[in-house]
Structures are given as C-alpha cells and as structure tokens.
Amino acid sequence: MRSNSIAPLLNFSTREYAQRLKKTRSAMQAEGVDTLIVTDPSNMHWLTGYDGWSFYVHQCVVIPLDREPFWFGRGIDANGAKLTSWLSHDNIVAYPDNYVQNPECHPMEYLSTILDDRTLGKGVIGVEMDNYYFSAAAHAALVQNLPNAKFKDCTALVNWQRAVKSDQELDYMRKAGRIVEVMHARIRETIRPGIRKNDLVAEIYDAGLRGVAGIGGDYPAIVPLLPSGAEASASHLTWDDKPMRSGEGTFFEIAGCHKRYHCPLSRTVFLGKPNQKFLDAEKAVLEGLQEGLLQAKAGNVCEDIANGFFAVLKKNGIIKDSRTGYPIGLSYPPDWGERTMSLRLGDKSELKEGMTFHFMTGLWFDDWGLEITESIVIGANGPELLSNVPREVFVV
C-alpha cells in the first residue's frame, strides 16, 4: 500500500486497514456511490490512521472505489498526515493557508478542483450530511463547484462499518477499561466535602493520563461531567472551582481512553447521608442494569436491552424517556458515541458479537440525578464488562 521512506507509527496492521477499506467500499457500492467524502475525524482515523487535532479546519479523506484514498487538509497538517497515516505521500493533498477561515474562499472549492483533476468530480459522490465538521457551507461549496456530480447522503455509512470491533480494537478498549477503573478509584480516594471541583478534576485527569501498568492515557472525546446536587438534574454540565458540599450527590461521567479508544463509565458519589428517594433510585437502577445486561447478547436487538432496563424502572415508578445507551469505540470530540444504533424503543438493530456499547442508565430528575453505568462487549451468550468498578452509590 505504501512506498515512502519514513514509516508512520500505525495502531493497526496494514491488513486491518485494508479490510476496513474493503468493507467501506462494499457499502459504497451497495449505495451506488462512486466516491465517498469522509469528514468525521473518527472515520478518517479508522480508515487511514490519520490523527491530530486539526478538525477545527476543513479536512477530509476521499475514498474512490478503484484507487487509493487521499487525505485533504490544511498545508501545515500535511506532515501530520505523513506521520500518522498509511497513505502514500502522493495522496496527501494540502490546500493553501489563505483558504483557512476566509469568507472569500472555501477549502471545499479547492477540493472540487482536486476532484476534477483526479476525474472524481462526477458520478455519485457520498457526503456525511450529518456527521461532525461537515458544515452547511462545506456542502454548498461542493454542490456549487461540482455541477457534474450527484450527491448522496452517506451519514454514518462508515460509522456502521465500525460497529463490530476487531481483536486489536477490543484490546485497546479493555485497556481503556483498566484506565477508567483507576480514574474512579482516584475519585473515591480523594473526594471529600471542601475539595474544589477543579482540584478533583485534576485528580481524574492525573489518573486517566498516567494510566495503569504501562498503558498511557489519551484524551477522551468528552471532558469529565460531574454536576452536584440540583445541578445533577442536568446531564452535561462540567465543573467550576467551588468546594464540594456535604448533603449532595454527584455523578461522574468519565471515560478511560487509550489510542483514541474509549471506555466510558459513570458512578455516583454522595457526600453525607443519601435520602430514601436516592437509595430507591439506586436500587432500581442496579436491578434494571442487571436486567438489561441479561439481554445484551448476540441475536437480540438494541431495544431488548432498553426494554429490560425500562421495565424495572417502571415497576419502581420511574419513567425514563431518553435513550439508554449507544455504541462506543474510536472517537474524537465532541462525542465518544458512534452515532449509529441507540438503546431505545424501536431500535431493532441486531446485536452482534464484538459490538460495544455504553449502557447509559443515567437518571435525571427535577432537582437531582444519578448515574451508574457499564460499558460492554456483546457476546454470544451475554456481555463482557469492559471494566470492573464497584457498582453502587459510593457514600462518604
């Protein structure tokens, strides 16, 4: 596949990248797509190895059916593409810097010319209409500048190919699971009334980055979420620099990350004595989680897990109307989910061995919240838990 002098450090074998490309091309053919423009940084990485915090400018990987893909990005990121992807240097194509954040000209105009030069500016071009970083302006620039092409929405086409994980991917995710274990252990060791939230976050990052047993930590695609008390009624608040108070519950939604692979896991800590409704909710979540896990096996469908969980909640008088999980794996900000399946009613996607999910059993009430979750691998007869953290509300 490659004939360059400097060998990049890849996280997977070239054989695995070739298989990924093959699967993607089969999916393209099934959709009648001649050329696919991949803008989601997770998909770019999965297909080519490309890594770097450059997704704040326009970039993509272009997949023709019959030729090596090419990376397209900003000039100062081209060396990064050479260092991290298996692509030959001929297929690392940069746009000039004056196209960066310039209302006068758009990088996708430049890409249109490149596509025409490579005789790819015609036929059916697939674009990820609703994946991250493919803006409305990017789409408009392509449509305007490629009058001979037909565009087809291929949102999540590549994401779906990622659903069943390879052995190497599972290895990285299990390592991320080891990391999230030490992150939660650090919380239990350091949390106390009076500790400032930001200092506790420093402990979480320290544990997550140093990792465990020689396994170093990468940055998770979402920062720690750790709202307390009434703020825990909101699902996505981050932190401030105020001291933590007694009499409040705090959930910690965090992830271990290794080589961009994630293991999210939430636990809840209560400083002081939790009231009865808190304890009742804990009991319902733990029982429901167990019931959902029983459904997490190959051959079942996504909603089976949700139904298992929701049924126990309902029995306990709790209605949850948000989805209760999503696939996980390789990711970049802003989301560690894969945005294909959802664990919710009506999702009949078949569970297959090697699929990985965050079983997101969080509850958010009017003025408090509680999260105790698990990340799992679907097995033939039941799930493998990606990490082992005491499944309880930790009371200090």
* Residues 322-361 interacting with a second copy (rule: CB under 8 A): 322-323, 326, 333-335, 337, 339, 342, 344, 346
> Quick one: 21 or 80, whose CB is closer to a second copy?
80
Question: How do strand 393-395 and strand 369-370 relate by DSSP bridges?
Answer: unpaired
Partners of 253 in beta bridges = 225, 266
DSSP string of 319-373, one letter each residue: ---S--EEEBSB--TT-SB-SS--SSTT--PBP-TTBEEEE---EE-SS-EE---
| 3-state class (DSSP) for residue 389 | coil
Site residues (CB under 8 A) for a second copy, limited to 279-318: none
Q: Which of 15, 213, 236, 317 binds a second copy (CB under 8 A)?
A: 236
State the minimum distance, in angstroms, from the CB of residue 381 to a second copy: 29
Which of 20, 162, 197, 262 touches a second copy (CB under 8 A)?
197
| Apex 47 CA angle, 44 and 49, nearest 5 | 75
Asked if 199 interacts with a second copy (CB under 8 A), we say yes
Site string for a second copy, 35-64 (x = CB under 8 A): ----------------xxxxxx--------
Compute the least distance from the CB of residue 208 to a second copy, in Å: 8
Q: Which of residues 246-275 bind a second copy (CB under 8 A)?
A: none
> Residue 53 burial by CB count (10 A; 0-12/13-18/19+): exposed, middle or buried?
exposed
Asked if residue 234 binds a second copy (CB under 8 A), the reply is: yes
**What residue type is 135 in one-letter code?**
S
Interacting residue with a second copy among 90, 130, 189, 392 (CB under 8 A):
130
Under rule CB under 8 A, which residues in 150-169 are in contact with a second copy? 153, 155-156
How far is 87 from 93, CA to CA, in rounded Å? 11
- What DSSP string runs through 32-49? T-SEEEE--HHHHHHHH-
Question: Is there binding between residue 196 and a second copy (CB under 8 A)?
Answer: yes
Instruction: State the binding string over 65-104 for a second copy (x if CB under 8 A, else -).
Output: ----------xxx-xx-xxx-----------xxx-xxxx-
